[in-house]
């Protein structure tokens, strides 16, 4: 009779016992660490793809810019034909004129200002040296109106000498009712905004 083996605590595997489940860990990724060799054909292909992408991006950008420009005109109720007229006047004659209605039978004609008109305004600020914003705004209204005003109620301001013409219009403005000057200033502001919108950046590409 054989004696039992001391220290043996292994339990015999029962028949039909299932094998341990397979590991659910993902398969290890194999990374190719060999240095990549750039071939002439590969470099050429990559270069062509980059050039093509850049060309497409430029075309798309130009199309979006033109579209956005027309959208801006539409938002300001500026017809494209009028925008063309403004651009042609500014580039060919150096100014653009427009007659606007104040009432059913009273009109005012404005002309875009030259850079010299802005310099004159700056010199006026130096001369008057306004202490308050309201004073500066009042000077700006008078000087911008005098520089842009061409005709009022069908009467055209005329004088061969530009400085004398400006002084005559400035003197006329100072004699008018305050409410009339306020109305004219409002109309001039809308006129200026219209010119600014039409002559915005990218005008050459859009025309």
3-state SS, residue 48: helix
pLDDT of residue 69: 80
Pick from 190, 180, 165, 186: nearest CA to 114:
165
Structure-model confidence comparison of residues 53 and 24, the more confident one = 53
CA distance 71 to 132: 38
Pick from 197, 106, 113, 195: nearest CA to 149:
113
Q: Where are the domains of the chain?
A: 60-206
Pick from 164, 154, 53, 139: nearest CA to 103:
154
pTM of the model: 0.66
Tell me the residue ranges of DSSP E strands in the chain.
97-101, 107-111, 149-152, 155-156
pLDDT tens-digit series, residues 62-118: 555 556 788 888 888 999 899 999 999 999 999 999 999 998 899 999 999 999 999
Is pLDDT above 80 for 181? yes
* Chain centre to alpha carbon of residue 107: 32
């Amino acid at each position: 009779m054989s004696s039992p083996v001391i220290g043996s605590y292994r339990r015999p595997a029962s028949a039909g016992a299932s094998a341990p489940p397979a590991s659910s860990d993902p398969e290890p990724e194999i990374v190719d660490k060999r240095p990549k060799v750039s071939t002439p054909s590969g470099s050429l292909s990559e270069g062509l793809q980059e050039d093509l992408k850049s060309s497409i991006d430029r075309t798309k950008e130009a199309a979006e810019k033109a579209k956005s420009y027309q959208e801006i005109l539409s938002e300001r109720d500026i017809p494209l034909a009028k925008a063309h007229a403004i651009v042609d006047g500014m580039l060919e004659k150096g100014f653009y004129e427009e007659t606007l209605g104040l009432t059913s039978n009273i009109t005012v004609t404005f002309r875009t200002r030259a850079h010299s008109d802005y310099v004159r305004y700056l010199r006026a600020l130096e001369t008057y040296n306004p202490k308050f914003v309201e004073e500066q705004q009042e000077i700006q209204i008078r000087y911008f109106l005098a520089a842009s005003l061409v005709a009022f109620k069908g009467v055209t301001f005329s004088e061969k000498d530009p400085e004398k013409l400006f002084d005559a219009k400035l003197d006329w403005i100072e004699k008018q009712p305050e409410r009339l000057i306020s109305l004219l200033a409002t109309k001039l502001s809308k006129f200026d905004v219209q010119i600014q919108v039409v002559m915005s950046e990218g005008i050459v590409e859009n025309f």
